[in-house]
Each structure stands twice: as C-alpha cells, then as structure tokens.
Structure 1
Amino acid sequence: MKRTHQPKKRQRVKVHGFRARMSSPGGVKVIKARRRKGRRQLTPTASRRAA
C-alpha cells in the first residue's frame, strides 16, 4: 500500500503559499497572525524551478 504523503513542491506552494493566502480574507488573517507572532517564515516557499 502506498503511503499517504506524496510531497510535491508546486502543489504545496499553490495551496499554502503566500499568494494563495493573500487571495482570501482568512488567509490574510493567517499572514497577519504569523507576522504578529514574529515567525521567520510566513509561508512555505519553493525554489524558482518548482513554482
């Protein structure tokens, strides 16, 4: 049986990336909360090649 986690860089960015977050009001709240908390990385980012 195949494992459930089959990571793909492009898909990760499309779903959880900065532009995806900024496209909805809830996502903007997430970014604001992470900025307020002082997170070093606001969203998962991929290399130029993957995205």
Structure 2
Amino acid sequence: GVRFVTYGREYQPSNIVRKRRHGFLARLRSKSGRKILTRRRMKGRKYLSH
C-alpha cells in the first residue's frame, strides 16, 4: 500500500493543556519546575510562565 507521511499538524492548541503542562502552578509543583522559575527570575523575564 501507499503510505502517506504528513508532518506539521502536531500543535493542536488547547488552553487547558497549556496551563496544566506549562502553567505557573505546574512549575511550582515539581522541583525542576521551581528551578525553571528561579532561573527565569534571575534572568529578569517579564513573564515567568503561562
């Protein structure tokens, strides 16, 4: 059979998933997430996370 390979439609936006995965509270919950927030604070980012 013929196989069709399509790329480029991986990103299906969803605000709920976005907040759950990359949100501020998600960052606070894990040790590595808190590290990310600390680094972004030190860098002087205006926005720390979603």
Q: TM-score, normalised by structure 2?
A: 0.80
* Aligned pairs for 1:1-51 within 5 A: 3-44=9-50
Which structure's CA Rg is the greater one?
2
Instruction: Tell me how far apart the structure 1 counterparts of residues 24 and 49 of structure 2 sit (CA, whole Å).
Output: 6
Percent of aligned pairs sharing the same letter: 41
CA shift digits 1:20-39 (9 cap, x unpaired): 00001100000000000000
Matching residue's letter, 2:38:
K
Q: How many residues align?
A: 44
Q: TM-score, normalised by structure 1?
A: 0.79
Instruction: Tell me how far apart the structure 1 counterparts of residues 30 and 47 of structure 2 sit (CA, whole Å).
Output: 19
Compute the displacement of 1:3 (Å): 1.2
The runs of 5 or more residues in structure 2 that have no matched partner are: 1-5
RMSD: 1.3
Instruction: Tell me how far apart the structure 1 counterparts of residues 38 and 18 of structure 2 sit (CA, whole Å).
Output: 20
